[in-house]
Amino acid sequence: MGSLFRRELRLAVRVGGSGLVGVLFFLAVVTVIPFGVGPDLNLLARIGPAVLWIGALLATLLGLDRLFQADRDDGALDLILMSGRPTELVVLVKCAAHWVATGLPLVIAAPVLAIFLNLEPVAIGAVTITLLVGTPALTLIGAIGASLTVTLRRGGLLLAVLVIPLAIPVLIFGVSAADAAVNDPVPFLTPFSILCALTLISAVVGPFASAAALRFSSD
């Protein structure tokens, strides 16, 4: 599993949609919003957590279509399915490597990009923590869509259609937790706990659903 993680991490960095591309897309989304809403700093601070979360969601979608596609093209996916290893564990390792290569850079870049949105230090810390907890759920949910569209040559659009509705609860509670930390620290724990629960549920359901879809596509 360690060798698989290192292999997937190298592939995620080399193939298009790596962390640098995601951060650049994240930067583009955050910098365009102020031009659209105007120079109202209070408005930017109010919608800042939602903008950062939406940018992180869209940036996460960039490389998801290649999560299993490269392995299917070179035959590695068939070898993985016939190796006798638990497919669910393989999917979990691939998702972990994908998050380290693409999701973690977004979390690191979030405090810097939050300055463009006039966020206070408390809001910056809350958004960063919620992204750190919630972005793994986006990757795990995206793995389900990636496994369902692995047989399609251009399944990127269909992948987005499948993943975005499933990711809306993560988006809602991530933004709610960040907003609660700014307005009143007490309610922060409620949406944040639900966000943690969604990530844990995704870590259980995501690999099993993805593994079942991959086995079905190989038949």
pLDDT in tens, 186-199: 588 889 999 999 99
For residue 28, pLDDT beyond 70 = yes
Q: Residue 76: which residues within 8 A CB-CB, separation 6 or more?
A: 70
The pTM (predicted TM-score) of the whole model is 0.86
51 in Cβ contact with 29 (< 8 Å): yes
Could you report the per-residue pLDDT of 111-154, keeping only the tens digit for each? 988 888 888 888 899 999 999 999 999 999 988 888 888 777 66
Q: At residue 217, does pLDDT exceed 90?
A: no
**Average pLDDT across the chain, whole number:** 83
Average pLDDT over residues 38-57: 85
pLDDT of residue 179: 87
Which candidate, 15, 49, 12, 46, places its Cα nearest to that of 30? 49
Contact 145, 162 (CB under 8 A): yes
**Residue 137: predicted pLDDT:** 94
Report the alpha-carbon angle 114-118-121, nearest 5. Answer: 65
Confidence grade of residue 34 (pLDDT, cut at 50, 70, 90): confident
C-alpha span between 67 and 91 (Å, rounded): 9
